[in-house]
Amino acid sequence: MNASSTIAGTMNPLQIITTGGALGAEIRGLDLRRGLDADTVRTLRAAFLEHCVLYYRDQQISQQDLVRFTRHFGKPVAHVRPQPDRPIEEIFVISNVTEDGKPIGALGSEEIPFHSDLSYLPEPGTISLLYALEIPEVGGETMWASGYAAYEALDPTMKDRIDGLNAVHRHPIDALNTPEPTMHPVVRTHPETGRKVIYVSPHLTHHITDMEREDGRALLDELIAHATAERFVWKHRWQVGDLVMWDNRCTMHRRTPFDDRQRRVMWRTQVFGAGTR
């Protein structure tokens, strides 16, 4: 059952409605074209740390609005992947649409397996925001998995086994990787909540270090199968005007494929570093 709470005493009264899954909540009562008072921002930050994914429906925002809203949670920065003709550098276009023979965005229409944004970099993404302008009739949904819930469900023996292990993360496109291998802990501690999280993914985690490759692969496969189990996952079915934000430090996400003849156009912003602090 979904839980709902109404926050009073702010300029913009809002509701927080949980998804009923392992993570995620809908925020109602805000028009993100307008400025937010300090109490509302504090409420949103607290809800974000608690629920890991927040979504806002029926928004009609500009690129400037999206960048301004992102600043409530950290400093938005240009995506690490180049994208020409970007009038506002903090906006990264995700789309399968081609105009005049050129793609207007990135990532096409194929499935994108579970991953945590930019984990192949020494400093991965902290917070991602995605706003839907056009969506396909079928497919193109996004699913999030809770690294908190997955870690907490491990038995004590497995927790002890993976404590202190590190894994190498690499992007399938080799040109996007750093010259030296990027390593992150298999068990990561969230810098703001202090909670532990499984931090591996099928898309970007290459291997576990200091283990024989065969043994490491078996352990990685076991952890990924566990972390992406249905009970830890929530699926978002997009609508035009949806804005979704998520915490890459404690979640991973995947996109389902869709018919490439259907248009999908999204704007994305990205925060690195301290996040909501």
| pLDDT digit string, tens, across residues 225-250 | 999 999 999 999 999 999 999 999 99
Question: Side chain identity at 149, as an amino acid letter?
Answer: A
Q: What pTM was estimated for this model as a whole?
A: 0.93
The stretches of the chain forming alpha helices (DSSP H) are: 38-51, 63-70, 147-152, 156-162, 213-227
β-sheet bridge partners, residue 184: 167
Q: Looking at the domain 4-146+235-272, which fold is it?
A: Double-stranded beta-helix (3.60.130)
SS3 state at 146: strand
Rounded to whole angstroms, the Cα distance separating 82 from 173 reads 14
pLDDT digits over 46-84, tens only?
999 999 999 999 999 999 999 999 999 999 998 888 787
Residue 109 DSSP one-character state: S
Q: Among candidates 262, 221, 245, which has minimal Cα distance to 109?
A: 262
Q: Which two tokens stand for residue 72?
A: 């409530």
Q: Which residues contact 224 (CB under 8 A, 6 or more apart)?
A: 114, 200, 201, 202, 205
Q: pLDDT tens-digit profile of 263-275?
A: 999 999 999 986 6
| Statement: residue 2 has pLDDT above 60 | no
pLDDT band at 210 (very low <50, low <70, confident <90, very high): confident
First to last CA, the chain: 31
> What are the boundaries of each domain within the chain?
4-146+235-272, 147-227
Looking at residue 8, its pLDDT comes to 45
pLDDT in tens, 124-134: 999 999 999 99
User: Residue 210, by phi and psi: left (phi above 0), alpha (psi -120 to 50) or beta?
Assistant: left
The whole-number pLDDT of residue 4 equals 59
224 has pLDDT over 90? yes
Residue 20 · residue 4 · CB < 8 Å: no
pLDDT tens-place string over residues 89-132: 999 999 999 999 999 999 999 999 999 999 999 999 999 999 99
Give the model confidence (pLDDT) of 147-187 as tens digits.
999 999 999 999 999 999 999 999 999 999 999 999 999 99
DSSP letter assigned to residue 248: T
pLDDT at residue 7 above 60? no
